[in-house]
Copies of this chain bind each other. A is one copy, B any other.
Amino acid sequence: MAPMSATSPAASPAISPATSLWERYQAHLVRYKDMGIWLDISRMRFGDGFFAEMNGKAEEAFVRMKELEAGAIANPNENRMVGHYWLRAPKLAPTADLRDEIETTRESILGFASMVHAGEIKGGMARFSDVLLIGIGGSALGPQFLSEALGAAKDPMKIHFLDNTDPDGFDRTFAKIKSLSTTLAVVISKSGGTKETRNGMLETQARYESEGLSFAKHAVAVTGRGSELDKAADKGGWLRRFPMWDWVGGRTSVMSAVGLLPMALQGLDIDQFLAGAAAMDAKTRIAKTSGNAAMILALMWYFAGDGKGMKDMVILPYKDRLVLFSKYLQQLVMESLGKERDLAGNVVHQGIAVYGNKGSTDQHAYVQQLREGVPNFFATFIEVRKNRDTVPFDVEPGVTSGDYLQGFLRGTRSALYENGRDSITISVPRVDAFTVGALIALYERAVGFYASLVNINAYHQPGVEAGKKAAARVLALQGKVRAALQAANGSPLTASQIAAGTGSDPEDVFHVLNHLAANASNIERSDAEAPGHETFRFR
C-alpha cells in the first residue's frame, strides 16, 4: 500500500453501512481510561430512543442504589441492609462500628496470612502448604473464580475445595492433598448451618483425627457471630475465627473474609482487588446513565430480554484465566434476579439465564448454535488486551497465538452480528487483582440496577428454601423407612406397604429404598417388573 500522510483525512464521501457502525461504536463506547476498561454496546440493536424511554426507570434505580449504599433496608423481605459496597470503601459504611469491623477484619486477614506464610502459625511442625476451603455457593464460587483467575503455580499455598456433600467428591479431594498436617482447613458458612458445609467439615475433622492430628489446630472459621459454626470453633479452640455480616449476601461476599482470607493465604493482592472494585464503584456511583458502565450494562440486559429475561446471557471471555467468570456470574445474576414476585407482590417470574466458558474454545462447542440456531441469547465478549507476561512467540512471521485469540474474538463478534445476534464487548487491559475486582463490582452494580429497572428485590433468595425443606423430609423419611424394614424383621416389603404404614408418598419411599439398597449392605432388593411390586428387606 502507498504511504499515507498523517494529516490526510479519511476519504469517505458517503456514509457506508460500515462507517455508520464505526460511528455507532464511537458514539456509545464507554471508556474508563485510567482503569483501561471499555464497554462497547454498538452491537446491541437498540433504537435511538431507547435510553430516553428508559430514563425514568434509570433515575429511580439511581435513587434506590443511593439509599442502599447509605444503609437503607434494601432487602425488605429479610429486614437487612445491603452493604457489599462498603467492603471496598469502608468510609461509606453508615456507622463507625461497621467501618471499624471492615477495616479490622482486612487487617487481621493480612496479619494472619503473613504469620501462616512465615510459619509462625502452624498446625504441627512444618509451615502450612495447602488450604482446604470448605464452603458452597457464595462461600466457594468467589474463591474458586479468584484462584483460577489470579493463582499461579508459584503461590505460597495451594488451594483445594470441598463444595458439595458428595462423599466420593470428598475422597477425591483428600487424595489430591499431599499432607493434612500442613493443610489449613478454612470452613466458610455465613449462617453456620449449611448442611453441605457441615458435612464437609465433619468428614474433614474425622480425616485429621484418623491421622492423629488435631483438627482445631488446623482450622479457621469464617461465619456469622454466634452461629452454630462460630460456637463450635470457639469451643473447639480453632486457630482463628473471621466474621461474616448479615448485611453481606453470600453471592456478594467475595470482598469480605469469604474471599479475602483465601486470597491472602494464596498470596494474592487483596488490596489491589479491593482498589479495583472501589475504582469501578466510584465511576458507576455517579447517578447519570451516560458514562455509567453499570447502568448501561443493566439497560442492555433490559433491552435484550425486553425486561423479562427473554434472552439468555452468554459470557465469552477470551482468556483461560476467566473460564469460571460465567459460573460466578451465573450465581450473581440468576440468584439475584430469578424471582417470582416483584416488590409490589405481583407474580413476574423474572431472571436472566447465564452460561458460558471461554473463547475461542467455545467456538468449537456451541458457537454453531449461537450463529445459526435459536436466537434466544445475547453474548458478552470479554477481551483481555495483554497476551502474556512472558516473551512473545511467533507462530507465523509476525503473528502470535494471542493475535489468533484476538482474531477469533473479533471474527465471532462479526459473525454473530451479521446473523442478527447481538453482543456486548468488555475490554480489560489484563487479568490481575485490580481488574478482577473492577469486573466484579461492575456486574454487582449492574445486577442491582437491573433489579430496580424490573422492580424486584435482588438481595434475597426465597426460592431455595422449598428444596431444602423437601430434602429434610426425604431424610426424615429415610429414618422411617429404615425403621419399617427393621420392624418387619426380615420380611420383604413393597414401597406402597411402607408408605401406607408411615403415611408417606409411595414414590418417595421407593426412591429412599433404592438409595438405601445401593449403599447399605444389610438392605436387600428383590427385582420385579413393576416398581410397585419390588420388595425390600432387612437381612
Contact = CB atoms under 8 A, between A and B. Distances in A.
B3 A487 contact: yes
B196 A365 contact: no
A528 to B, nearest CB: 10
Contact of A507 (B11, B22, B153, B327): B22
A309 B498 CA distance: 41
A376 B352 CA distance: 10
Contact of A390 (B171, B309, B491): B171
Interface in A364-402: 364-377, 385-390, 392-393, 395, 398-402
Contacts of A166: 318-320, 358, 401-402, 405
Nearest to A412: B467
A199 to B, nearest CB: 4
Interface stretch (A51-59, A217-225, A442-450, A512-520): A512-520
Which of A153, A372, A416 has most B Cβ within 10 Å? Answer: A372
Contact of A467 (B196, B363, B369, B502): B363
Contacts of A269: none
A104 to B, nearest CB: 28
A340 interface: yes
Given A166-B405, A320-B172, A398-B479, A507 B25 contact: yes
A170 to B, nearest CB: 7
Contact of A167 (B355, B387, B480): B387
B353 A312 contact: yes
Interface residues of A, number: 174
A4 interface: yes
Contacts of A415: 463, 466-467, 470
B338 A353 contact: no
Interface string A461-493: 111101111111111001110111001110111
Contacts of A496: 9-10, 12, 22
A480 B4 CA distance: 13
Given A367-B464, A408-B471, A376 B12 contact: no
A463 to B, nearest CB: 4
A287 interface: no
A368 to B, nearest CB: 4
A463 B411 CA distance: 12
Given A10-B506, A165-B405, A535-B6, A372 B462 contact: yes
Q: Give the top 10 A-B pairs by smallest Cβ distance, nearest first.
A: A338-B369, A137-B364, A351-B373, A338-B373, A10-B496, A411-B471, A169-B320, A411-B470, A355-B355, A334-B366
19 contacts: A1-B487, A2-B487, A4-B500, A21-B507, A22-B506, A199-B395, A202-B393, A309-B376, A337-B369, A338-B370, A338-B373, A340-B372, A340-B373, A349-B373, A350-B374, A376-B376, A385-B518, A385-B519, A402-B519
Given A165-B401, A368-B463, 15 more contacts: A4-B493, A4-B501, A9-B496, A10-B499, A10-B500, A18-B506, A137-B361, A165-B408, A309-B374, A339-B368, A339-B372, A353-B376, A408-B471, A410-B511, A411-B472
